Amino acid sequence: MNAMRNINTKGRIAVVTGAGSGIGRAVAKALSGAGWSVVLAGRHPEKLTETADAMEGDALPVRTDVSKPEDVDALFAAVDERYGRLDLLFNNAGTFGPGGVPLEDLPYSAWRKVVDTNLTGTFLCAQAAFRLMKSQDPRGGRIINNGSVSAHAPRPDSIAYTATKHGMTGLTKSLSLDGRPYRIACGQIDIGNAATDMTERMRRGVMQANGELAVEPVMDVADVATTVLHMAELPLEANVQFATVLATGMPFVGRG
């Protein structure tokens, strides 16, 4: 993929990681509804198939563990082979890790799993996307990273997740700078309490900074997908650097 390539394709091509459920599935469906061809990456093929079946247009499921370089290489090789170009990468794959575990009791293996998935996986996918976006003609593309409101403020007992999401912000800024000469735009969406299986605990009550349990409001995951679609469809001359979309009443701004 070192030589410049000029391959005619119909429509725009996107990769969505973590596409088997939740935010990834909602974003894949929104992109498909807007005419994008979407490559669906995730660890569970059956979930990717469910996502593809729920979409309107062209979909390519590729079983991928983003923490493994060989899986990421195979993912982007499949993109290059089928489409010859890439217009959008939505780096969405991530994990919270074990909840409610005090810092001093967090196993090293749990720390590594969160870091390898959330931060290293995002880097590996962005690196592979850069290589393809720089080599194609017309050159360029867009990367959108799924940050979190945890990129701004932590929850109790969430050190691994919070550290990776703070790291995501630095990664996004570096990608933006390094991509500038090649028309590669990079932005970050920080999401708070979208209604998915991963946030079901918010409806039951989640630990607050004052030590109390409280039920938190959630928002429709489709509203996240709408925001990502807006970011994705801007011309490359414009970029949403950071966007925060959250359930209006969640305890985030100020003191809760």
* Long-range CB contacts for residues 135-140, cutoff 8 Å, separation at least 24: 135/1, 135/2, 135/3, 135/4, 135/5, 136/4, 136/5, 136/7, 136/84, 136/85, 136/86, 137/4, 137/5, 137/6, 137/7, 138/183, 139/4, 139/182, 139/183, 140/182, 140/183, 140/184, 140/185, 140/236
Record the tokens describing residue 180, joined without a space.
């500038």
Instruction: Give the strand pairing for 59-63 and 37-42.
Output: parallel
**83 given a catalytic annotation:** no
Return the closest-CA partner of residue 143 out of 82, 86, 72: 86
Per-state percent for the chain, helix, strand, coil, to nearest 5? 45, 20, 35
Q: How is residue 35 annotated by DSSP?
A: T
Burial of 70 (0-12, 13-18, 19+ CB in 10 A): exposed
Q: Which of 83, 108, 161, 182 is catalytic?
A: 161
| Per-residue buried b or exposed e for 149-170, using 16+ beta carbons within 10 Å of the residue's own CB | bbbbebbebbbbbbbbbbbbbe
Catalytic residues: 161
